[in-house]
Amino acid sequence: MGRGALLSAALHLIVIIITVFGLPLFSNEWEPPAESIPVELAPLSEMTNIPVRPEPKKPVEKIEPKPEAKPEPPKPEPAPPPPPPPAPEPEPIPDDAVPLPKDKVEEKPQPKPEAQPERVVKLDGPRPKVKPKPKIVEKPEEKLDLNKISALLSKELKDPSPKTEEPEENPQDTPQDLPPTQATRPTTSAQMTLSEIDSIRAQIEQCWIVPAGARYAEELVVRVRIFLRPDGGLAQPPQVVDSLRMKTPGEEAYRTAAESAVRAIMKCEPFQNLPVDKYDRWQEIEMNFDPRSMLGG
């Protein structure tokens, strides 16, 4: 009895092991895989070497790489290289006895502007200054100008990601109303080849300015999901997968990294050289911005 049970248990264990190690193989086989790969690998080198953005397609006027291609020429405006006029030197340079008290101009704190309803903060805290205490009042501006920029602000406050639903400057001849497809659509076309993926990667890498300013920037890996139209343009604004972290206090560095990733995507769109027949493969892409190799992490 006992032996029978143990034997049974052992057999079951074997079955389980087979299950564990067998199933992934099965799942691999379900993909229509291997035979296409060698065929596709051949053009890899030539594809990868293709210049990243040969020329922007016609209908998209949004990004024109050359600034001077703009019909409106930069006016020869008397651009101000700041002339150093009498920069008011607040104090004379004292040069006398060793202990050198300054502050002759010490002025009494000015009365606060009562008129302003906002909170008013004086700035003359413990500032290592010889000059008279600066009287600076600061207040966050958002309150002041809510009316002026309310549209923007409300957008920003409420819902940062889906902010510009309308493809603003995209002309009519692009198919507008593509459904923001979810991954539920069956993918029927051939797989993306390595060179095709490389092409997308190369485009993005040209547009991405790695946020080198932040501390531990090498740990700030950002995932962004984008949805593309058949012409390679963005169907909707990029979505930072971990968008909650962007708003977390103390995660300003992550916010910076995420913003740099989003900026790169928006600078790069529309993407070029996408295989039209495989649209269902690349209409949704998750990009993983990983600066570790750049920043020596």
Q: Which member of 38, 54, 81, 117 binds other proteins (CB under 8 A)?
A: 81
Q: Which is nearer to other proteins, 39 or 142 (CB)?
A: 142
Tokens, residue 142: 């958002």
Binding mask 186-215 for other proteins (x = CB under 8 A): ------x----x--xx--xxx-xxxxxxxx
Asked if 287 and 271 count as a contact pair (C-beta separation under 8 A), the reply is no
Q: Which member of 40, 44, 253, 273 binds other proteins (CB under 8 A)?
A: 253
For residue 102, CA distances in Å to 87, 94, 98, 128, 241 come to: 20, 8, 12, 12, 55
When asked if residue 247 is in the footprint of other proteins (CB under 8 A), the reply is no
Binding mask 54-73 for other proteins (x = CB under 8 A): --------xxx--x--x-x-
Q: Which is nearer to other proteins, 38 or 128 (CB)?
A: 128
Whether the bond into 99 is cis, omega within 30 of 0: no
Asked if 207 and 190 count as a contact pair (C-beta separation under 8 A), the reply is no
Q: Which is nearer to other proteins, 43 or 133 (CB)?
A: 133
Q: Which member of 37, 49, 57, 134 binds other proteins (CB under 8 A)?
A: 134
The length of the chain is 297
Q: Which member of 140, 172, 177, 188 binds other proteins (CB under 8 A)?
A: 140
When asked if residue 287 is in the footprint of other proteins (CB under 8 A), the reply is yes
Residue from 263, 227, 220 nearest 242 by CA: 220
- Could you give the CA distance from residue 173 to residue 70 in angstroms, rounded to a whole number? 22
Concatenating the DSSP letter of every residue in 75-134 gives P---------------SPPP-SSSS----TT--PPPPP-TT--S--EE--SS---SSPPP
When asked if residue 99 is in the footprint of other proteins (CB under 8 A), the reply is yes
Q: Which member of 54, 58, 109, 110 binds other proteins (CB under 8 A)?
A: 110
Q: Which is nearer to other proteins, 1 or 34 (CB)?
A: 1
Q: Which is nearer to other proteins, 58 or 75 (CB)?
A: 75
Q: By CB under 8 A, which span of 40-48, 52-60, 133-141, 171-179 interacts with other proteins?
A: 133-141
Tokens, residue 115: 């008129």
For residue 108, CA distances in Å to 105, 122, 188 come to: 9, 13, 77
Tokens, residue 244: 């909650």
User: Which 4-63 positions form the footprint of other proteins (CB under 8 A)?
Assistant: 4-6, 8-9, 12-13, 15-16, 19-20, 23-24, 26-27, 30-31, 62-63
CB of 72 to other proteins, least distance (A): 6
208 beta partners: none
Residue from 69, 32, 74, 73 nearest 186 by CA: 32
Q: Which member of 101, 109, 117, 249 binds other proteins (CB under 8 A)?
A: 101
When asked if residue 291 is in the footprint of other proteins (CB under 8 A), the reply is yes
Tokens, residue 126: 């413990």
Residue from 259, 284, 293, 292 nearest 200 by CA: 284
What residue type is assigned to position 219 of the chain?
Answer: E
Q: Which member of 39, 42, 120, 276 binds other proteins (CB under 8 A)?
A: 120
When asked if residue 179 is in the footprint of other proteins (CB under 8 A), the reply is no
Q: By CB under 8 A, which span of 35-43, 44-52, 74-82, 170-178 interacts with other proteins?
A: 74-82
